[in-house]
Amino acid sequence: MIDAPVLREKARALGFAACGVARCRPMAEQEPRLRRWIDSGRHAGMEYMNRNRCVRLDPARLAEGCRSVVVTLTAYPPVAPIKGRPHPVAAYAQQPDYHGAIKPRLYQLLDALRENHPEARGRACVDSAPILEKAWAVEAGLGWIGRNRLLINPDSGSYHWIGILLTDLEFSAYDTSYAKDGCGNCRRCLDACPTAALSAEDGLDARRCISYHTLSNRRLIPNEVVEKSEGRLIGCDACQVVCPHNARRLAEAPAADPAFDLTSEEWLTLDETGFFDRFGHTPLAEKGLEKIRQTVSQQLEIFQKE
Ligand code: SF4
Ligand code: SF4
């Protein structure tokens, strides 16, 4: 049994902005929402959401003997719009690749917790494992899921990555699920979404979402999405930038890094070596130069027709 304050102290020492812990359980109450979302096709091409549905609802299927779900937040700096237009590269993609940075720290946290429990087991999950990260963050008391479908922490807003450690360790106390709806009557993200991908009732329609298409969709982006993407190439922060819970961090944000603000011509003439020299350490590398060029060419084609 580990003292919950010890967990938080060790997480803080490792640089996590926030940490909470929930008792592991199947999240059966999430099943109808997940099923509705998938059955209506709003998951777009994310077929893995359907394939892994059962595992996704029960972390014990991911990590045998799991008793606790430790949830961490790692903050990254927002990026303000530049010269009155959205930045073509979303804030998170301007940072070093987060998978490589967060996973080792989660295992360091496990090692630290093992001090008096050397037999303890754990599995770190950052983005790629089938787990309901945002729902677990709520369960661990770290915030609520906003109308933009992002986890919003009352202190630090939504510019963070969620990292999860599934472990067979038990804690002296578990956090209380975050019960408050911090969105209230606000609808700013719904109104700001360039493609109307968000709805108060049905959440996100990934088929319309610029983030989904520029980050996860390996196929050609539909022209109607490119038309409304306002020059975005990787990700979209429109529903974060307007959120009042991000206002303080946006006001403190550093100036946009010009290294990510290339002209269409610069993107089209950049070679693979130059691309990896400049962006090899960021999530752009995983996306690949070819996909970025394809989107730039689509934007040019549409713009030239107008
Ligand atoms: S990421 Fe962009 S396109 Fe997707 S829901 Fe948010 S504002 Fe809309
Ligand atoms: S913009 Fe408003 S409605 Fe949207 S997530 Fe933020 S607080 Fe909630």
pLDDT in tens, 224-237: 999 999 999 999 99
Q: Whose CA is nearest to atom 6 of ligand 1?
A: 239
Q: Are both 259 and 139 inside the same structural domain?
A: no
Q: Give the DSSP letter of residue 68.
A: E
Per the CB < 8 A criterion, the answer to whether 179 and 142 are in contact is no
**Atom of ligand 1 lying closest to residue 204 CA:** 5
Q: Decide whether any atom of ligand 2 lies within 6 Å of the 147 Cβ.
A: yes
**End position of a domain, from candidates 167, 199, 228:** 167
Q: Are both 145 and 280 inside the same structural domain?
A: no
Do the domain assignments include residue 44? yes
- d(CA 222, CA 202) in angstroms, rounded, equals 21
Instruction: Give the domain range for residue 142.
Output: 4-78+92-167
Per the CB < 8 A criterion, the answer to whether 197 and 209 are in contact is yes
- 274-306 pLDDT, tens digit per residue, is 999 999 999 999 889 999 999 999 999 887 765
> What's the whole-number average pLDDT of the chain?
93
Do the domain assignments include residue 276? yes
Q: Decide whether any atom of ligand 2 lies within 6 Å of the 186 Cβ.
A: yes
Do the domain assignments include residue 123? yes
pLDDT score at 306: 57
- 28-47 pLDDT, tens digit per residue, is 999 999 999 999 999 998 88
Q: Which residues are catalytic?
A: 127
| Other beta carbons within 10 Å of 298 | 18
Do the domain assignments include residue 87? no
Tell me the pairing of strands 160-167 and 151-152: unpaired
- d(CA 45, CA 42) in angstroms, rounded, equals 9
pLDDT score at 83: 77
- Tell me, rounded to whole angstroms, the distance of Cα 243 from its chain centroid: 16
Do the domain assignments include residue 101? yes
Q: What is the enclosing helix (H) or strand (E) of 111? A: helix 98-113
* Ligand 1 centroid – CA 207 distance (Å): 11
Q: Are both 162 and 196 inside the same structural domain?
A: no
Q: Quick one: which ligand is closest to 244's CA?
A: 2
Q: Are both 33 and 163 inside the same structural domain?
A: yes
Cα separations in angstroms, 6 against 15, 73, 114, 173: 14, 17, 12, 11
Q: Whose CA is nearest to atom 4 of ligand 1?
A: 209
SS (HEC) of 9-36: HHHHHCCCCEEEEEECCCCHHHHHHHHH
Q: Whose CA is nearest to atom 2 of ligand 2?
A: 186
- d(CA 148, CA 93) in angstroms, rounded, equals 19
**Ligand 1 pocket mutation, candidates 151, 191, 193, 242, criterion most atoms within 8 A of CB:** 193
Which percentage of the chain shows pLDDT scores above 70?
A: 99
Residues with CB under 6 A from ligand 1: 148, 193-195, 197-198, 204, 209-211, 236, 238-239
Per the CB < 8 A criterion, the answer to whether 186 and 147 are in contact is yes
**End position of a domain, from candidates 167, 197, 216:** 167
Do the domain assignments include residue 183? no
Amino acid identity, position 133 = E
pTM, entire model: 0.94
Do the domain assignments include residue 50? yes
**Atom of ligand 1 lying closest to residue 211 CA:** 1
Beta-bridge mates of residue 18: 73
Q: Are both 104 and 193 inside the same structural domain?
A: no
Do the domain assignments include residue 143? yes
- d(CA 265, CA 180) in angstroms, rounded, equals 48
- How many domains in the chain? 2
pLDDT score at 36: 93
Structure tokens at 176: 């209380």
Q: Enumerate long-range contacts of 172-177, CB under 8 Å, 24 or more apart.
A: 172/1, 172/2, 172/3, 172/4, 173/4, 174/4, 174/21, 174/22, 174/23, 174/68, 175/4, 175/20, 175/21, 175/22, 175/139, 175/140, 175/141, 175/142, 176/141, 177/22, 177/138, 177/139, 177/140, 177/141
- 54-74 pLDDT, tens digit per residue, is 899 999 999 999 999 999 999
Of the pLDDT bands very low, low, confident and very high (cuts 50, 70, 90), residue 152 is very high
Q: Are both 161 and 210 inside the same structural domain?
A: no
pLDDT score at 219: 87
Q: Decide whether any atom of ligand 2 lies within 6 Å of the 148 Cβ.
A: yes
